[in-house]
Structure 1
Amino acid sequence: MDFILGLPRTARRHDSIMVVINRFSKDGTLHIILYFREIVRLHGLAKSLVSNHDVRFTSHFWRTLWSLLGTKLKFSTAYHPQIDDQTEVVNRSLGNLLQSLVGESLTTWDLIIPRAEFAYNSSTNRTTSMSPFEIAHGLAPCKPLDLIPLDPHVKVSEDGVTFAQHVSQLHQDIHDRIQSQNALYKQVVDMHRRP
């Protein structure tokens, strides 16, 4: 669990993102709202939470809360193979996705979060060779453009076809960027690991 801070404040007064990763499926749940409202509601209480040593996670309140709820707090260290820097990978991927999707409308990034979350969770993970969605739910998600090929004799809207091609290309670009960034990140991390 981690936070991405220092984002431009949106019209809805959001300026940070809370990132929570399921260690098994690598499912990235990217929410700006409270952990309990969005995570516990959908998945229940975690048996353990891994986070960095940020003061938000090491405070007396935080430790007391999780102790009372029976959740064990674990803290990561840099380049630790058991943690695998999953949150940092998701943070980097999220940053790249948001930059790709938001463009110059910097104060609307919070509206893009659901699309970025879907793109991340439906992309194949290098470690598992499956998407986080597929691991968590047992099937690959239907994507907006998983369409049956249209009969060439049926009249279609050129604008609709153009838009569908644009979204399809956008999804492919996002997928390619995630794969590229993950490969670069792996190279950097591998340089710091001992043989």
Structure 2
Amino acid sequence: MDAAEQMYSEDPSWGSPDFPFSVLAGELEESEGPIANEDRPPSVETEATLEFADLNTHRENFGSEQRKDPTLVRAWENVMMINGEPVDPGNRLSFPYFISNDDMLYRVYKKNNEIIEQLVVPKPYTKVVLELAQGHLLGGHLGTEKTTERVLQRFYWPGVQKDIENYCKSCPVCQMSAPLPHFRSPLVHLPIIEVPFERIAMDLVGPLPKSARGHQYILVIMDYATRYPEAIPLCQTSAKNIAKELLQVFSRVGIPKDLLTDQGTPFMSRVTKELCKLFKVTHLRTSVYHPQTDGLVERFNKTLKSMLKKVVDKDGKNWDYLLPYLMFAIREVPQSSTGYSPFELLYGRHPRGLLDIAKETWEGEKTPHKSIIEHIS
């Protein structure tokens, strides 16, 4: 049995063994650090463009394309402000509206009490945005809804939502790994938590095909307040290993009050009990008969496994290398339940990603990122 077949036999939620794996990633850079070339997965190949060849466009060229694009004529005609000055002082601004800053066209709209300036993208550049938002590994192949959220945070063009929907529907990676619908029991809802990392949930994913570095499991830790996830590759699921990783997380985000787990042996061990006792953590357990109580982690595990299935190499040995890329994608995208991304809720600012790099390049300047005070005021 090869690694791919092992993946399905041990965890059928990965999908059919006939799935044609491909990696939409850039070739890894040469490293002078502890991870040497010989330790790398041999086939993280280039299919999408990580060299950003299409981003090497000067501001003047991008602005010229905005002017020439026939689909943007009406937008230019309806510009309400030029370089901060109203075109007609008598007109009252109502969202959304178009502005021109230094001969660049923007659309201004309001979401969650935040005013967002979207760079208007001319037709020759829309495909680049779609590839970075959905097709690239850091995009995570997260589907129409989340890709739309990601794009609209930075860009706009006429028909943008329809273009995103069509792009996602035509993505062969997403279509080949689309899950079959299934029905679950109703979830038992837990109280709402508002303080980051006051309550966390923990679960294990696996066993998965053994990676080149010997990992077979993923320790998942999820914050209930911000939905911020951690996914830690493990070689073994011993209680000591799990306790060690928990301490690493606690050192970054603080010690939670509540820890929610299922009835699995590593989580019920003496070491885990002692750890909770030492740090005054209340250990909550989901029922054997109602594991759906922890629906947050259940949904995340399903999403993570679906994403890995889309990008993992054919021999299944590079999945642990891909985790950081996918976790970035998950943390960056606004959640429907909160309206914000997990990163925003935890750190108080937008993360700088590939779409931000594209926007900065086309604007010819670095996009300022709000401080925590600016973000919440």
The normalised TM-score by structure 1 is 0.70
Task: Give the conservation status (yes or no) of the 8 Å contact 2:257–2:281.
Answer: yes
SS in 2 for 1:79: helix
Residue by residue over 1:129-159, the C-alpha shift from the partner in whole angstroms, topping out at 9 and shown as x without a partner, is 11100100111211123123538xxxxxxxx
Is the contact made by 2:222 and 2:229 (CA closer than 8 Å) also made in structure 1? yes
Whether 2:258 is the aligned partner of 1:57: answer no
1:114 aligns with 324
Q: How many residues are paired up?
A: 148
1:136 aligns with 2:346: yes
Regions of 4+ moved over 6 Å? none
1:177-192 aligned at under 5 Å gives the runs none
Match of 1:150 among 362, 365, 374: 362
The answer to whether the 8 Å contact 2:229/2:331 transfers is: yes
1:111 is aligned with what amino acid? Y
* Residues in 1 aligned to 2:361 and 2:278: alpha-carbon distance in whole angstroms: 55
Q: Which runs of 5 or more residues in structure 1 are unaligned?
A: 152-195
Separation of aligned partners in 2, 1:50 and 1:14: 24
Report what 1:8 is aligned to.
209
Instruction: Give the secondary-structure state (helix, strand or coil) at the position aligned to 2:354.
Output: coil
Max Rg structure: 2
Between the aligned residues of both structures, percent identity stands at 24
Of Structure 1 and Structure 2, which has the larger fraction of its residues in helix? Answer: 1
Counterpart code for 1:45 = I
Quickly say closer, same or farther: Cα 1:37–1:72, change in 2 above 3 A: closer
Bigger shift: residues 120-129 or 33-42:
33-42
Q: What is the Cα-based RMSD across aligned positions, in Å?
A: 1.7
State which of 40, 53, 69 in structure 1 corresponds to 2:250: 40
Using a 3 Å threshold, how does the CA distance of structure 1 residues 107 and 37 change in structure 2: closer, same or farther?
farther
CA distance in 1, matches of 2:362, 2:332: 24
The whole-number CA distance in structure 2 between the counterparts of 1:62 and 1:119 is 31
Q: 1:40 to 1:48 in 2, by over 3 A?
A: same
Give 1:37 shift: 5.2
Tell me, what secondary structure is at the counterpart of 1:32? strand
User: Is the 1:31–1:38 Cα contact (8 Å) retained in structure 2?
Assistant: no
The amino acid of 1:20's aligned partner reads I
Is the Cα contact below 8 Å between 2:215 and 2:233 reproduced in 1?
yes
- Structure having the larger proportion of residues in strand: 2
The one of 78, 84, 102 aligned to 2:291 = 78
Q: Please give the alpha-carbon distance, in whole angstroms, between the structure 2 residues aligned to 1:30 and 1:6.
A: 14
Contact 1:3–1:18 at 8 Å: present in 2 too?
A: yes
Counterpart selection for 1:25 from 218, 226, 231: 226
Which AA in structure 2 matches 1:142?
R
What are structure 2's unaligned runs of at least 5 residues? 1-201, 235-243, 364-377
CA distance in 2 between partners of 1:78 and 1:37 (Å): 25
